[in-house]
Amino acid sequence: MKLPRRLRSRALAGGGLFGALVLGAAIVAATTPPADLAARTDVTNLAFDALSREADMFLGNDTAGLSSRFTGAALEGELVLQAHVQDLINQGTDYPGPLHISDQKVLSISGGGDFYVIEVQFHAVRDNMRAGKVIDQSESDVIWTLSVARAATGWRISSMDGRFAPGGGP
């Protein structure tokens, strides 16, 4: 594919790092197959959809089972997490309410074909509940790393890991 003359001339005339970057970016854009761009769009949409589902996760409303992404021995699986929250309620102690998510953005996306890894960062505020009422909040910046694979029924999240963004956690 031939690059636009303006890009070529600017890259060549610059002769420096900026010119090389412009030329490199143009080559990447020009050589990325349209199918891959479409897949990356699908993967990004899936990641943001997972975020919105996470925001809905509250007392078992996590229909996608996303809470099972954290594979810690103490809390493994959606049912365990739900039971844990129910225990907290039964004990009369505080329990986690909904998340309010904002400023979500894609940090990176890699892979190709039927498999991608995407990193998304977001800011979240969680309502903390007691006896059905919000009593205070917790606030973090979080990075999710999602492995996404194409299945017969469409794109699916095959694994998820979370960590706090630098400076945005406890």
List contacts with other proteins (CB under 8 A): 70, 72-76, 81, 84-85, 88, 93-96, 99, 124-126, 128, 135-140, 142, 162-164, 167, 169-170
Identify the residue whose tokens are 């973090």.
Answer: 140
The Cα–Cα gap between 38 and 109 comes to 13
The Cα–Cα gap between 96 and 135 comes to 10
- Residue closer to other proteins by CB (options 144, 155) is 144
- Residue closer to other proteins by CB (options 3, 88) is 88
Give min distance, CB of 109 to other proteins, in A. 22
Give min distance, CB of 147 to other proteins, in A. 16
- Residue closer to other proteins by CB (options 24, 169) is 169
CB-CB contact of 149 with 155 (8 Å): yes
Q: Which of 95, 135, 114, 138 is nearest to 42 (CA)?
A: 114
